[in-house]
Amino acid sequence: MATVEQAAGRVAIVTGGSGGIGSAVARRLAADGMSVVVHYAASAGRAEEVVKAITEAGGTARALPGDIADPTEAARLFAAAEEAFGGVDVVVNTAGIMVLAPLAEMELEAFDRMHRVNVRGTFVVSQLAARTLRPGGALINVSTSMTRLQQPAYGGYAATKGAVEAMTLILAREMRGRDVTVNAVAPGPTATPLYLEGKSEELIQRTAAAAPLERLGTPDDIAETVAFLAGPGRWVNGQVLYANGGIA
């Protein structure tokens, strides 16, 4: 992890910062000394709770709204971060949605919604990050270990995250000479509301037992991985880092 001295003066944007993983990432980067923009789409109350937790712990943060798939709104988010804090050094793209259904039964509208947020949103934010990040910066996108686990009902969701991985790996090569790293984190099953919703206790326990560490991941587990890539992990670039406790 970065020391507070190393992170002082650095600025991070965390998209989906009101969500389970996003809020943990925002708090973790703030604990390292970064000023954090906590982005949200609709959950203003939860985003303000994250900001309050950060400021009460002595950190600096502000909540900002926006549709990350809308280039104008996303650009406004980056501009507001620059105006408030002077620049952007780290972008963590945790915003995403997940709809589960067998491929033969998935509504095309549901797939389109996932594609808009997970693929188009990641593209728009990555494009802005590529144009904006200062030397020494880092872009961290979020994929999923379901691209490896290949579980039924995850086909549509995993397809959107496969696109995220492809964009991430190619952008890392396109950033040659900029001193900016570009990586993706691929969480395994993680105990967030997004993952737990609609699952039986029996299924949750069975999934947890599948990992050699015999538990689900936590948002803090993922935040630690992100903090490494955002701070000291400068020699890790153009990679998909699987944070899943060995489940895949």
For residue 32, which of 5, 58, 60, 4 has the smallest C-alpha distance?
4
Those residues with Cβ within 8 angstroms of residue 55's Cβ, 6 or more apart along the chain or in another chain: 61
Catalytic residues: 157
Secondary structure class of 220 (helix, strand, coil): helix
Packed helices 122-132 and 71-85: angle between N→C axes, nearest 10 degrees: 40
Q: What angle do CA 169, 171, 174 make, to 5 degrees?
A: 120
Work out whether the CA dihedral 96, 98, 104, 105 comes out positive or negative: negative
Alpha-carbon span 238 to 144, nearest angstrom: 16
243: β partners: 187
Element (H, E) at 44: helix 44-56
